Amino acid sequence: MKRYFIYLFFGISFGSCSIPESKQQINIKADNVLMTVFETGDITLLDGIIDPDFVNHTGGGQVGLDNLKNMVKSFHSNNLNLKMEVITQMLNDDYVVDWVQFTGSNPSISIEGMEVTRYTDGLAREHWFFPKNQNSGN
């Protein structure tokens, strides 16, 4: 009977221990939030995942959270009914790469490309977007 309680104690003790998340897991979680922002336009989600010195190379090297928020708001206000699909997501050290497809119907838009973001401890530090094709206004 004592042995049963010892096994039960160790089972509960080890079963309730949480394994700390890796740097990559933290960065992927932050990147998933960033992709949600790009898809939905909900800029309130950016506050916890953007480094104060964030550089958006896609926006001409603009620095800071407010510049990113303005870019997202502008993109969504100019492209109504916007949808985004993450085709695949790749991770390499501090970089997360998302192959994405944006589509919309007002105006007609189809943009496919690679979102590349560099993270440090779950905070986005730099971002680039490399479009494959861009057809709009059809």
Residue 6 belongs to a domain: no
How does residue 4 score in pLDDT terms, banded at 50, 70 and 90? low
Residue 5 belongs to a domain: no
Q: Which of 49-53, 63-67, 80-84 has the lowest mean pLDDT?
A: 80-84
Q: Which of 3-7, 58-62, 90-94 has the lowest mean pLDDT?
A: 3-7
The whole domain housing 107 covers 22-136
Residue 16 belongs to a domain: no
For the chain, what is the domain count? 1
| 57, 116, 130 from 133: Cα distances, Å | 18, 16, 9
Q: Report the C-alpha gap between 68 and 109 in whole angstroms.
A: 21
User: Any idea what the CATH number is for the domain that residue 67 is in?
Assistant: 3.10.450.50
Interval 15-54: pLDDT, tens: 555 667 788 899 999 999 999 999 999 999 999 999 999 9
Does the pTM surpass 0.85? The reply is no
